[in-house]
Every structure is written in structure tokens, then in C-alpha cells.
Amino acid sequence: MKKIFAMMLAALMILNIGACALADVTLDEAKKIALDKAGVAAEDAIFTKAHFDHEDGRVVVDIEFYVGSTEYEMDVDASTGEITEFETEEHALVDANGSITLDAAKQIALAKVGMKEEDVKFTKQHLDKDDGRTVYEIEFVVNGMEYEFDIDAATGAILEFDADLKD
């Protein structure tokens, strides 16, 4: 059973390496194609996924990114650069009071340091008042670094940011 599993895993790895070798479109080129299709600038996008994959018998680059509250998901044909799948989905970033949500504040903090939620451990995440302003205090740890943010609950602006080695 272990031998069969190991052989299957090896075959999948060879297929993936082969997919990358057969691709005429690089990951960076596929990202640019996706951004052009979405009509957004690279500095406005937060990429959460970009990798080679097999879809309907062809090699594609599976891409996912956010711009504001919009999530974009695309498959770019790795041979032709053609977009074979394109979907968008809106995510609520503002609550009923017009303030950004806690999830939105967390995403703003994570984007600032180029991290994903599954890679960090949140140690503080709550709404507070600071100098008459409503702010989200967000803190998380990753790889021995502690990141601290104060994020304006009305605008999403980062008011304070600090990163230190955790003692």
C-alpha cells in the first residue's frame, strides 16, 4: 500500500514538473494577464494563489487575488495565455454601521506584511477607542515576529504599525 501511494505521489510530481516545463506562459506573465483582464493595477491586488495546475486536459495557471472587497479567480491557459475561467465574488468589508469589519481589518494588516491568515497566530483582535477614534487593535505572531496594528474602523487606514522579535 505504501509503495502504491509513493508511486502515485511520484507520478503527480512528475506531471506537475512536466506541466511547468511545457508552459509557455510564466507565473508572472499569467498574473499580468489576469490583472489586465480584471482592469486593475498590480499594486492594488493581493495575490492569494498562483500555481500551475491541470484543468480539462491542459496546463493552466490557477490564479486568485483580491482588490478591495472583490475576489478574482481565473485560470490562464499556460500555452496560449487565454483566460479559460473567470469569476468574481464580493466579500462584505463594511458592517451595517458603515465601519469596516474585523475580518477586513485583519486582511488589511495581513496584506501590509504579505502574510496569509492561515500562516499567523492572532493574539489580539478587537475594537477599541483611542483618542476618540474607534480602532481595531490587531496583533499576530509568525516566525518569531510579533506584528501590532491600530486600524481606523471608519476608513481602514493603518494608524499605527509595529513589528518586533517576540521575547
Q: Report phi then psi at 131, rounded to 5.
A: 55, 40
pLDDT value of residue 68? 72
List the one residue out of 75, 73, 57 whose CA is nearest residue 15.
Answer: 57
pLDDT value of residue 17? 45
The pTM of this model reads 0.51
Q: What is the pLDDT along the chain (167 residues), one digit of tens a residue?
A: 555 544 444 444 444 444 444 569 999 999 999 999 999 998 888 787 889 999 889 999 999 887 777 889 999 999 999 999 999 987 666 666 667 888 889 988 998 888 889 999 999 999 998 888 899 999 999 999 999 999 988 888 899 999 999 87
- DSSP annotation of 69 reads T
Measure the CA–CA gap between 37 and 86, rounded to whole angstroms: 9
Fold exhibited by the domain 102-165: Nuclear Transport Factor 2; Chain: A, (3.10.450)
The DSSP string of 89-142 is EE---B-TTSPBPHHHHHHHHHHHHT--GGG-EEEEEEEEEETTEEEEEEEEEE
CATH of domain 2-90: 3.10.450.40
In the chain, which residues fall in CATH 3.10.450.40? 2-90, 102-165
Query: What order do you get walking across the sheet with 158-165 strand by strand?
Result: 121-130, 133-142, 145-152, 158-165
Cell of 65: 487575488
Amino acid, res. 92: A
